Amino acid sequence: MNGSLHLWLIPLLPFAGFLINGLLGRRLPKFLVTTVALIAPLAAFGFVLNAGFLEFIHGNPGFTNSVPLAVNLNGHDAIINPVANPYSYVETFGTWLNIGTLHIDFSFVLDQLSLVMLLVVTGVGFLIHIYSVGYMKEDAGYARYFAYLNLFLFFMTTLVLAGNALVMFVGWEGVGLASYLLIGFWFSKTSAADAGKKAFIVNRIGDVGFLIGMFLLLANFGTLTFTEIATKLGQDPGWTGGVVTVIALCLLLGATGKSAQLPLYIWLPDAMEGPTPVSALIHAATMVTAGVYMIARTHVLFDHSPFALNTVAIVGAATALFAATIALVQTDIKRVLAYSTISQLGYMFLGCGVAAYSAAIFHLMTHAFFKALLFLAAGSVIHGLGGEQDMRKMGGLRKKMPVTFWTMTMGVIAIAGIPPFSGFFSKDAILYAAYTQGSLGKVLYVVGLVTAALTAFYMFRLWYLTFNGESRDSHAHPHESPWSMLGPLVILALLSLGGGWISGAWAGVGNFGAFLAPVLGETANESGSAILEVILSVVAVMVAVLGWFVAEWLYGQKSDHSEQLAAAMPGAHKLLVNKYYVDEFYGATIIKPLMAVSTYLLGWFVDKAILGGAAWLLGGIATFSGALLQRWQSGNLRSYAAWLAAGAAAVLLFFVLPWMSLLANFGIHLGMAGH
């Protein structure tokens, strides 16, 4: 049987939703807009489930040597060569480019990695669509909002399904566009419009890296298809460093842009200007993880370049710590979560950097659950307080918003890394993988551990400030959100609780890693041991609890401990409140010189002086010569006649001059003829 999984339907359904709501949404009644907007992601989710079932459980209909799932899950003997993956199902829709030896297809790939990503994207995406129905109810741009959201799903699923780097780049740019549109959704607000621009431009810097990486891939491998690159590298195992390092670093630059890592993370905190469900879906759960996904997809390149791999790990660990310290002192509830997202993405990069790709993807998945939950719960809080985002004006919401409180509590415990919640398993898998990776890994492990303590601290700080104690704003009249918003919260809370259990192991990636192993080409780590795993996980839990206790001490009771602490270290506090002055630093070193070059060199000198001068000169010549020639048209009959005569004389002279000598002979001849 040679069936098709119809992968093309998965992105195209949200795209249809985008077209309907984008073109007709303003004229459709609201319930129709809602129906279209919800059916698109739900149907896409259904098709993902269907494709996953057909391929992995029922046996791939389009692939002859497919084996049942259970065989693959037993034991850790992973298949090293990703090309030999029996579950890599490719669907090609046609040739995109065919120039000489360059051949690029428009193709989608469904394998273990893209299936996991698709389930997260469409599943969490659908929940957030439901939530948005309640959250955006009163907004004038209701249809536009859902059109953009569906457009995002279209591009994101394209990115995930892409079989080669070029198709992935289409999705990559597309999600950037959707992100821009949704950050600047309330475009009449200057800060929102600016934030959208900032996100787009900063991402563009990273995209340059991705593009150059693709050019280098084409130049050195002659293909952009992921499996072919893996094959070519597999044929030459000794090929390390050199151009592969350059390609990997270029791709890393692209990933740091999209996934908000150092040094390109600056757009993500500002992206919180968008509606909160957008922050949850795009700027926490899915789009920002595209960089991690891309590194996992192209992991063979990183595997062949230890330098690039170490760079990924260092960038990730540095970002994790850096963002976590900023999150300590933020007062805007969404900004805390934004910096927390950057920090957690840093964990995923750290996981990729120590070649524990499955651990990174594992954390990507659990993070999608609990961070979406945290954002949506924060959105519920903001919604209940009528738009208030400052945590200093919250407090005492525990009684007023019980469902939001309990679901958010589960999210906080999950991100803090306390078992049995999901964050514990995935974070522990990454830390364990880092610890077992030599001396650099030990250093990164310590950084990760410190970050874990900071994470627990700032999340419980948020929790205490928001829900504990008494309300600090007497004008607030908090109310619980409608069930269209609370429903997704409950589901995500359950996923945050149980999402980590699918690994089936107390520590490490377990079954989850074994499932992904054919794609990611990992083997079970031999340098660790069961005892070590348990010890490390206990340490991680202790560190998280420590963070909790510090938060409890500083913010738990009615105390001024936090003010005292800030007063004791005014320099450090100021540095953190101002986010290390990175925006100011970029402003002074990059934006200002660029603006000066644009204004003075390009604007004044090139545009006004050279180009404007040239245009002015040409116009001046025409005017001046016209003014001169105008005098010719005197209207005076005799002057016309004189010019006519002069012209005739000139023409005559022109023709006659060469014949002058002949004419002289002719004259003599005539004279002789007279005789």
List residues near another protein by CB under 8 A. 630, 633-638, 641-642, 645, 667, 670-671, 673-674
Residue with Cβ nearer another protein (2 or 630): 630
Rounded least distance, CB 630 to another protein, Å: 6
Task: Give the span between the Cα atoms of 233 and 303, in whole angstroms.
Answer: 10
Query: In whole angstroms, how large is the CA radius of gyration of the chain?
Result: 33
Residue with Cβ nearer another protein (27 or 675): 675
Task: Give the span between the Cα atoms of 11 and 153, in whole angstroms.
Answer: 7
Q: Please list the residues that pair with 455 across neighbouring strands.
A: none
**Residues recorded for the chain:** 675
Residue with Cβ nearer another protein (219 or 648): 648
Helices (H), 259-356: 267-270, 276-280, 290-297, 299-303, 306-327, 333-353
> Helix or strand or coil: residue 592?
helix
Cβ distance 210 to 298 under 8 Å? no
Task: Give the span between the Cα atoms of 409 and 494, in whole angstroms.
Answer: 12
DSSP characters over 61-108:
TT-TT---HHHHHSSS---S-GGG-TT-EEEEEEEEEEETTEEEEEEE
Task: Give the span between the Cα atoms of 486 and 384, in whole angstroms.
Answer: 12
Rounded least distance, CB 648 to another protein, Å: 9
Residue from 516, 507, 340 nearest 430 by CA: 507
Rounded least distance, CB 650 to another protein, Å: 14
Residue with Cβ nearer another protein (530 or 668): 668
Measured at the CA of 473, the angle between CA 470 and CA 476, to 5 degrees, comes to 105
Instruction: Please count the CA atoms within 13 angstroms of the CA of 34 that sit on its side-chain side.
Output: 12
Task: Give the span between the Cα atoms of 607 and 617, in whole angstroms.
Answer: 14
Residue 412's alpha-carbon distances to 351, 403, 426, in angstroms, are 22, 14, 15
> Cα-flanking dihedrals φ and ψ of residue 98, to 5°?
-145, 85
Rounded least distance, CB 631 to another protein, Å: 9
Residue with Cβ nearer another protein (610 or 663): 663
Residue 401's alpha-carbon distances to 384, 385, 408, 635, 670, in angstroms, are 8, 10, 11, 93, 126
Rounded least distance, CB 618 to another protein, Å: 23
Task: Give the span between the Cα atoms of 518 and 277, in whole angstroms.
Answer: 34
Residue with Cβ nearer another protein (534 or 645): 645
Rounded least distance, CB 665 to another protein, Å: 13
Q: Which amino acid is at 358?
A: S
Rounded least distance, CB 668 to another protein, Å: 10
Report how far apart the first and last C-alpha atoms of the chain are (Å, whole number). Answer: 116
Residue with Cβ nearer another protein (568 or 670): 670
Rounded least distance, CB 671 to another protein, Å: 7
Residue with Cβ nearer another protein (71 or 637): 637
Rounded least distance, CB 628 to another protein, Å: 13
Rounded least distance, CB 633 to another protein, Å: 6
Residue with Cβ nearer another protein (140 or 637): 637
Beta strand 89-99 with 102-110 is antiparallel
Rounded least distance, CB 651 to another protein, Å: 14
For the stretch 652-655, contacts whose Cβ atoms lie closer than 8 Å and that sit 24 or more positions apart, written own/partner, are none
Cβ distance 173 to 207 under 8 Å? yes
Rounded least distance, CB 191 to another protein, Å: 59
